[in-house]
Chains A and B, each alone.
Chain A
Amino acid sequence: MNAKLKETILNPIFKGNPITVLVLGICSSLAVTVTLKGALVMALSVIVVTGISSLILSLLRNTIPGRVRIIVQLVVVAMMVILVDQILKSFEATYAIDKQLSVYIGLIITNCIVMGRIEAFALGNKPIPSLLDGLANGVGYGMILLIVAFFRELLGSGTLFGLRVLPAGYIPNNLVILPPFALILLGCIIWVQRACDKDLQEK
C-alpha cells in the first residue's frame, strides 16, 4: 500500500477525525449514543452511506455539470440514505433499532461529514481512494459514537449491548442519559486527543 493511500485511510480516523477535529456530525452523535446497539447501527449506516456515495460521485465526477453539482450530490446521498433505511426496516433484527433511531437515519443526509467529504475529496479524486476516504470517515465517526455510547450506556443504564454488567444495586445516572452529557464526554475525548497529539494544539 502506498503512503498516500495509507494517509487517506488513517487521517480521518485519528488526525482528521470528523467529530473530534473537524467537529462535524455532532447533532446525531448526541442523539443516538444512549445505547451501544443504536450507536453501532448508526455507525454502520453512516459508513455505508459515506463510502458508497463517495464512490458513485467519484465515478460521475467528470460528467456532473458544475452548476448543479450540489443537487446531484444530494440526490445520490438521499438515495443511499433511503436504501439503508428501507433495508433496516426489512429485517426483524434491525426493525426495532430502526424504530428507536427513528428520524436520525433519515437525517444522515444532513450529516455534514457526507457532503463535506464528497465536496472536498470525491469530486477531485479517483473512485478507489474516494471509496476508502468515505469509509474511513464513516469509521472515524462511528468510533467516536461507540466510545461515547459505551460510557453513556454503562453509567446511564448499567448495561452494555443490553446485557447487565454493573451490579443490580447500581442506581443509573439519569444525567448520562440526557443529550448534554454526550457533549461533556465529547469534550473529554477532544481534550485527551489534543493532549496526546501536539500537532492539534493551537498556540
Chain B
Amino acid sequence: MNTNSNIYTVIYTTVIVVVVAALLAFVSQSLKGKQDANEKAETISQMLTAAQYGTKAELDKLGNTAKLEKYAQEIEKALVIDMQGNVVRELEGIEVYGPKELKRQNYNIKGGTNQTGEAELPVFIFRNGNTVVPVYGAGLWGPIWGYLAFETGTATISGAYFDHESETAGLGSRIKDDPAFQQQFIGEQADFSSANVFEIVKGGAPVGEDGKSLKDNKIDAISGATMTSQGLDAAIDTWLGAYAKYFTKSEE
C-alpha cells in the first residue's frame, strides 16, 4: 500500500485526530467530578487562609474532606448580594465561588458583550469575625484572583490570599507565593468612597514616622512585576467597587 499518496495521508490524519479527540473527551468527562472536588477544596482552603484560620501550608495538610468540614463548621452566613448591596439569596450548604465562577461574575460586573445577567456577588461571613469577598482580574499572562477578608462590618482588611494561573515564577507569582506580600494587606483600610478603593503603589507606599506602611489604602507593589501588580490593583478596585454599597451600608 502506498502510504505516501494524498488520499491515504488525509484519511490517516483524520482518523488519528478523531480517535485521539474522542479518547481525550471521554477521559475529561469521566474525571471531571474528581477534578471539581479538588478545585472546590482548594478554593475553600484559600478562603480559610484569607480569613486567618492558618497559613496556606497548614490548611493544605488537611485532606479535602477535612477542609470541607472545617468550612461547614466555621461559616456563619454565606450570602449573594447585588451591586446595590441588597441580599439576593443565601448560599446553602457548601457552595463556593472558584475562579471559573468568578470569571463569569467579573464579566457581569463590567458589563459588555460577555455579560450573562446581573452580577451575583458572594459574601462569606466566618465565625471568627472575618468577612471574605473574592476579587478577580487579569494579570500579565493570565487570570489572577483571590480572597480578601475584612473585619466584619468594617472596611479594615484582616487577611488576603491570591492565586494566579500563569504569572512569571519568582516575580508575578509572588502574589501567591510570598506571604510577606499578603501580610501587607492586614490592617489596611479600603476607601469605599473613591474609585481607587485600594492601591498597590509602584515605588513604595507612604510610610509613617515609625517607617512602617501607613494603615491607609496603599501598599507596596512587587519589584519586577509591575504588570501583575497593576492587574491586581485593577482587580481589587473593580471588585471592591462592586461591593462598595454593601460595605458602606453595613458600616452605618
Partners in one complex: yes
Output the nearest chain A residue to B24 by Cβ-Cβ distance.
Answer: A82
- Asked if A59 is an interface residue, CB under 8 A from chain B, the answer is no
Number of A-B contacts (CB under 8 A): 60
- Give the docked Cα–Cα distance between A44 and B24 (Å): 20
Cβ proximity bits A84-103 to B, threshold 8 Å, 1 near / 0 not:
00110111100110010011
B4 touches A103 (CB 8 A): no
* Residues A86 and B31 in contact in the complex (CB < 8 Å), given A66-B4, A178-B170: yes
Q: Which residues of A contact B23 (CB under 8 A)?
A: 79
B20 touches A75 (CB 8 A): yes
* Residues A95 and B42 in contact in the complex (CB < 8 Å), given A67-B4, A87-B31: yes
Q: How far is the CB of A114 from chain B (nearest CB, A)?
A: 16
- Asked if A10 is an interface residue, CB under 8 A from chain B, the answer is no
- Asked if B16 is an interface residue, CB under 8 A from chain A, the answer is yes
Q: Which residues of A contact B166 (CB under 8 A)?
A: 102-103
Q: Which residues of A contact B16 (CB under 8 A)?
A: 72, 75-76
Other-chain residue from B13, B27, B35, B60 in contact with A72 (beta carbon distance below 8 A): B13
Chain B residue total in the interface (Cβ 8 A): 26
Output the nearest chain B residue to A72 by Cβ-Cβ distance.
Answer: B16
- Asked if B3 is an interface residue, CB under 8 A from chain A, the answer is yes
Q: Which residues of A contact B169 (CB under 8 A)?
A: 31
- Asked if B28 is an interface residue, CB under 8 A from chain A, the answer is yes
Q: Which of A67, A92, A178 has the most CB of B within 10 A?
A: A92
A68 touches B13 (CB 8 A): yes
B24 touches A63 (CB 8 A): no
- Asked if A189 is an interface residue, CB under 8 A from chain B, the answer is no
* Residues A64 and B12 in contact in the complex (CB < 8 Å), given A75-B17, A79-B20: yes
Which parts of A47-91 form the interface with B (CB within 8 Å)? Answer: 62-68, 71-72, 75-76, 78-79, 82-83, 86-87, 89-91
Output the nearest chain A residue to B9 by Cβ-Cβ distance.
Answer: A65
- Give the docked Cα–Cα distance between A10 and B102 (Å): 51
- Give the docked Cα–Cα distance between A99 and B107 (Å): 25
Given contacts A89-B31, A90-B38, 9 further A-B contacts (CB under 8 A): A65-B12, A65-B13, A75-B16, A79-B20, A79-B24, A83-B24, A89-B38, A90-B34, A92-B63
